[in-house]
Amino acid sequence: MGFSDFLNKIPFVRTGSVATQQAEQADNVDRQYNKAKELIEHGISEEAIKALDSIADIGSMETRYQQYGCEALKILGEVFETGKYSNIKARVDHERAAKYYERYINIVDDGNMLYKLGLLMLDIQNFSKAITYLERSADHNITQAYMRLGDIYEKGLNRVDENGNKSDFIIPVDLEKAKSWYQKLADKGDDKAKAAVERMEYNETHADSIEFEEKDKIYSEISERRKAKGIELHYKPNDATTLQYQYSYIHDQVEGYIHKLPKDWVKSIDVDTDEEYYAPSHTYSDFAIYVTYTTVPKDSERKVDDYLLYMNDAYECEVNITPYITEYANGISARFYHKEMDKGIVSFVFKQKNRWACLRFICSTMEIMEQYNEIIFEVANSFAFIIPTLLSDKSANRTEIQYYNEALYYYNMGNYDKAMDKAAIALQYGSTQASYLLIELYYDEDSPYRDIDKTLSFAKQLFESNKDPDLAFLIGTIYDQQLKDCAEALAWYETADRLHHKRVPFYLGRFFYYGLVSSGKRDGEKALSYLKRARDNGIFEAEPYIRDIESLGDPESLQPTVEAWERAVAEGVAETALKVAMNKKEQVFYLASDEEIEAAFLRAIELGSVQAAYEYGAYCETKEKQEGYNGPIKSLDYFYKAYEQGYQEFSKEYLYQVIEHKISSGVSDEDKKRLYYDVASKGSVPAVKGILEMTDAMNPELDKLYEGLKEIVKSGDAEALSAMHLIEEKFKELLNPVEDDSNKVIQNKFFRLQVPRSCTAVINDEGGTIRFADSAVEFAVAEMPVSVDTDEEYNKVFNLIYNEYAGEENSEIIVANSRMVGSGMLTRKAGNNKYSILLISTRNQYLFKLSSIDRRELMRFKDQALRIALTLVESGEIYVATGERANKQIGLTLLMSGSGDGGMLSISKDDEDDEGLVFV
């Protein structure tokens, strides 16, 4: 009972960019986290796991990095629990997964994670820990934990050895304990728990023999009755003599149906959807069976074909629905791949008048589906509707639940009129669930029935009857975000907090952070206390607020600090006026309206802050770009004001707008080109295009711009690569190494290099050696392991290199041209000094290495080796390795395979003692 997931749509209020910047500071941990995300995106499993482990260690030790640490621990737990996360994979290891989850709950007391950890402990047969974690999860009101504890004591727990042999009971059957866990949840209004209590009470006085002789009688009667009607069968039978599994029977006495299930399989609960399912174990994720029973009103217009699509969320899938008529039931079936879920699904819907049942067999892959074919069809073929033998006020056979389910269907399908009609009928029949749905219909922004007053009225009435903390939270957010009644909002938030609502400490912290209380004064101590509780509940949106308060030193100084700022602004201090304007814009210590933000910026501009004009222009443009904005366009005026007053920190995008405006007002060609050069020097692609349209030949100024763009790329700006590429495309001589008095060109069908005439160079199709004095540069060419056809794809390659090497000691980012970037690394070990360069193009990858025992000798020729590498251009053909080289890996190949030991590229950041050019 309760709301659907619509409460999750209520946003965490602060959305300013400063908060984002604070949460993503440009330090080493952020860089590691971004690197880990890149590795995950590219499926580089081993290196991603190493990076996540490092982040988890830091996050466990330092509070300010807990958000990163917790995220890393959850990802690591999932990848070892299920064998994959996003694009990375690992061997399933539930014990290792449990250790990561345990570290997570030591930081965040998260009820859902405690439940997940309890299931993992059941799977690895650590029963004492399993019960402890499940009980702690139940303390957080996780309904699945109550049900699982009830199930444990109802059935008992045995250890199972590797051969499938069961031990004696480790946790003995205890029906009183089982019933008490179900009852605790039933007292909270949970339908599944009430049904479990009713079932146990029924079983205390009835001996249900459906498992044995009566099931044959029931099936025989159904079969004979259907044969007498001449029903033509259309199904896939299994050969009973070839069955590999043993089966028991599921008999739902409340709803009235039976079907087979593999013996010793367990009933579990999907944490995300709260649906029950059957699987070999609680943590098994490759195959699951979901059985859903419903009845529809006699006047329902719904069709079973649509019910199959609805239950499987398969409206966007290619589904071929066919009749499926067994000895015991009429139905339909479909087998398909669900792209969004990335799962294979076999689904059946059986129908008997207005009684419907959907069986879903969810497989991790289409191949797994074949493995479980026997179970799929044995379970489906055994499904039969029978007469219910146990009454329950939560049965889907009841009229009020029929109409509620009908209303919920239409609500989910966006048919608000029918949803409202059916919900009203369900309410007339006494459905409490319909009350929640009506509240959603009145609150939903997309609903034509949206009415905040009615939402409040229904929510308050329902809260009086059941004291649901979700209702108190919803009422609080309505007063807070819709009606702007802070006093009422605070009262309801405090009520929700007393009822242990998980999200509400964040909102209470925010109230004291902004001073949204009767005194109008901010309270740093109370705000910090609530916000830290929110963070402990896993609400990391609280982190920027916590840092804001802690940055003051003393939480009690929050209100005095704000008052001091306001006095300084009143006294005409421009720097403080800008600070206040920026804080209001980013909602830091001020909950400011658009009008208040505008007034703060205009005050700072009035006091002479040039930066305020620029920042206000950026603020205005953000608003102007919003869909539906029809107000005045002011951003360019303020950008221009900042430009005219000499502001130097323009972004290239905003500066380009200014110079385009200036050019449009009429300037000479010379001034136009100068303006373009001003913004092109920041890496602006459109500005470079403007220059090239006015330039017919390379000249010193353009050459200087080209070299400057290389430096911008080295700072991490991938867009500048595109600007360089435009220049190279027009003036191709940039990429043609030429011979002169000091240099010669060596080449083959793959590449060309410019080398000193004094050196001796020997090359072949796979690389070569350039020897000068007593030192030599060895180099090699290798295939690209990925296809790179666009700017976007090549920029991803550059970003991988940049994230790995930027800021590393003794390393540098190298840019030879727009399609030849890489990194250089100095290393030393056991007296051997090495300088390595990796360059990657769109087609090939190249490795250069200079080695010397004498470091002075190495440094003497290091710059010369780099100059040679920077002249590298490709001749046209794509290198393809043959023979023994076909299985060798260097550079990006190692990056993509994750098999490098010393670093994710072949240039190791660790000191390694190797000789010559080594292919891993």
Half-sphere exposure of 24 (CA within 13 A, CB side): 8
- Say if CB 477 and CB 454 are below 8 A apart: no
Closest Cα partner for 559 from 597, 593, 513, 528? 513
Q: How confident is the model at residue 906 (pLDDT cuts 50, 70, 90)?
A: very low
Q: Could you tell me the CATH number of the domain that includes residue 189?
A: 1.25.40.10
Name the residue with higher pLDDT: 767 or 73: 73
What span, in angstroms and rounded, lies between the C-alpha atoms of 545 and 562? 15
pLDDT the model gives residue 776:
82
Examine the pLDDT at 27 and tell me if it is beyond 80: no
- Say if CB 545 and CB 510 are below 8 A apart: yes
The secondary structure of residue 668, as a DSSP letter, is -
The 3-state secondary structure of 797-834, one letter per residue: HHHHHHHHHCCCCCEEEEEEECCEEEEEEEEEECCEEE
Beta partners for residue 145, in sequence order: none
Closest Cα partner for 919 from 869, 883, 867, 872? 883
DSSP letters for 338-354: ETTTTEEEEEEEEEETT
What span, in angstroms and rounded, lies between the C-alpha atoms of 291 and 880? 53
Examine the pLDDT at 495 and tell me if it is beyond 90: yes
What span, in angstroms and rounded, lies between the C-alpha atoms of 673 and 661? 14
Q: Could you tell me the CATH number of the domain that includes residue 370?
A: 3.40.1000.10
pLDDT the model gives residue 18:
37
pLDDT the model gives residue 791:
83
Distances (CA, A) of 313 to 8, 354, 411: 20, 21, 14
% the chain with pLDDT above 70: 89
> Where does 62-172 have alpha helices with state H?
66-82, 94-107, 111-123, 127-139, 143-155
- Say if CB 826 and CB 832 are below 8 A apart: no
According to the per-residue pLDDT averaged within each range, which of 185-194, 459-468, 875-884 is highest?
Answer: 459-468
Are both 619 and 728 inside the same structural domain? Answer: no
Closest Cα partner for 918 from 888, 881, 892? 888
What span, in angstroms and rounded, lies between the C-alpha atoms of 786 and 804? 18
pLDDT the model gives residue 8:
64
- Say if CB 872 and CB 846 are below 8 A apart: yes
Say how many C-beta atoms besides its own lie within 10 A of residue 511's C-beta: 23
Q: What is the tens place of the pLDDT at every residue in 503-557?
A: 999 999 999 999 999 999 999 999 999 999 998 888 888 989 999 999 999 999 9
Examine the pLDDT at 7 and tell me if it is beyond 70: no
Phi, psi dihedral angles at 846 (to 5 degrees): -135, 140
Are both 779 and 865 inside the same structural domain? Answer: yes
746 occurs within a structural domain = yes
What's the mean pLDDT in 721-743?
Answer: 90
Instruction: Provide the domain count of the chain.
Output: 5
pLDDT the model gives residue 485:
96
Are both 310 and 192 inside the same structural domain? Answer: no
444 occurs within a structural domain = no
pLDDT the model gives residue 665:
87
543 occurs within a structural domain = no
**What's the whole-model pTM score?**
0.72
Lowest-confidence range among 172-186, 486-500, 784-798?
784-798
| Helix (H), strand (E) at residue 278 | strand 276-279
Indicate the SS3 state at residue 323: strand
- Say if CB 566 and CB 576 are below 8 A apart: no
Examine the pLDDT at 577 and tell me if it is beyond 90: yes
What span, in angstroms and rounded, lies between the C-alpha atoms of 630 and 623? 10
- Say if CB 347 and CB 319 are below 8 A apart: no
| Exposure class string for 666-687: b at 16+ Cβ within 10 A, else e | eeeeeebbebbbbbbbbbbbeb
Say how many C-beta atoms besides its own lie within 10 A of residue 172's C-beta: 11
pLDDT the model gives residue 16:
47
488 occurs within a structural domain = no
The 3-state secondary structure of 612-664, one letter per residue: HHHHHHHHHHHHHCCCCCCCCCCHHHHHHHHHHCCCCCCCHHHHHHHHHHHHH
Are both 55 and 158 inside the same structural domain? Answer: yes
| β-pairing verdict for 166-171 and 157-160 | antiparallel
Examine the pLDDT at 573 and tell me if it is beyond 60: yes
Closest Cα partner for 785 from 868, 905, 866? 905
What span, in angstroms and rounded, lies between the C-alpha atoms of 541 and 507? 11
445 occurs within a structural domain = no
Phi, psi dihedral angles at 9 (to 5 degrees): -80, -15
- Average pLDDT of the chain, as a whole number: 87
Both tokens of 102, joined, read 């345990």
Closest Cα partner for 104 from 64, 126, 83, 73? 73
CA angle 429, 435, 439 (to 5 degrees): 150
Return the residue matching tokens 């329950």.
Answer: 392
849 occurs within a structural domain = yes
Both tokens of 11, joined, read 């946003």
Closest Cα partner for 580 from 556, 598, 554? 598
Examine the pLDDT at 21 and tell me if it is beyond 60: no
Distances (CA, A) of 41 to 68, 86, 131, 786, 883: 17, 7, 37, 14, 32
Say how many C-beta atoms besides its own lie within 10 A of residue 41's C-beta: 14
Q: How confident is the model at residue 885 (pLDDT cuts 50, 70, 90)?
A: low
Closest Cα partner for 437 from 355, 418, 621, 307? 418
Half-sphere exposure of 411 (CA within 13 A, CB side): 29
| β-pairing verdict for 157-160 and 322-325 | unpaired
Q: How confident is the model at residue 353 (pLDDT cuts 50, 70, 90)?
A: very high
What span, in angstroms and rounded, lies between the C-alpha atoms of 736 and 738? 6
pLDDT the model gives residue 816:
93
Domain extent, residue 115, equals 5-205
Are both 694 and 836 inside the same structural domain? Answer: no
Q: Could you tell me the CATH number of the domain that includes residue 855?
A: 2.60.120.1690
Say how many C-beta atoms besides its own lie within 10 A of residue 690's C-beta: 22
Lowest-confidence range among 480-489, 593-602, 675-684, 784-793?
784-793
Are both 700 and 811 inside the same structural domain? Answer: no
**Residues in Cβ contact with 326 at an 8 Å cutoff, skipping those fewer than 6 apart:** 233, 235, 380, 381, 383
Name the residue with higher pLDDT: 440 or 789: 440
Domain's final residue, options 733, 754, 783: 733
pLDDT the model gives residue 830:
67
Distances (CA, A) of 389 to 251, 253, 255, 260, 863: 10, 5, 8, 18, 87
Assign residue 520 a region (left: φ > 0; alpha: ψ between -120 and 50; beta: otherwise).
left
Are both 711 and 746 inside the same structural domain? Answer: no
Domain's final residue, options 385, 410, 430: 385
Are both 45 and 141 inside the same structural domain? Answer: yes
DSSP letters for 714-750: HTT-THHHHHHHHHHHH-GGGG-----SSEEEEE-SS
Are both 53 and 182 inside the same structural domain? Answer: yes
What span, in angstroms and rounded, lies between the C-alpha atoms of 348 and 305? 10
Are both 78 and 189 inside the same structural domain? Answer: yes
- Say if CB 358 and CB 305 are below 8 A apart: no
Phi, psi dihedral angles at 802 (to 5 degrees): -65, -45
Indicate the SS3 state at residue 89: strand
Are both 172 and 278 inside the same structural domain? Answer: no
Examine the pLDDT at 911 and tell me if it is beyond 70: no
Q: What is the tens place of the pLDDT at every residue in 617-628?
A: 999 999 999 888
245 occurs within a structural domain = yes
885 occurs within a structural domain = yes
| Exposure class string for 190-201: b at 16+ Cβ within 10 A, else e | bbbbbbbbbbbe
Amino acid at 719: E
Closest Cα partner for 37 from 823, 799, 790? 799
Are both 624 and 693 inside the same structural domain? Answer: no
Amino acid at 787: S
Domain's final residue, options 385, 405, 423: 385
DSSP letters for 509-576: HHHHHHT-STT----HHHHHHHHHHHHHTT-GGGHHHHHHHHTTSSGGGHHHHHHHHHHHHHTT-HHH
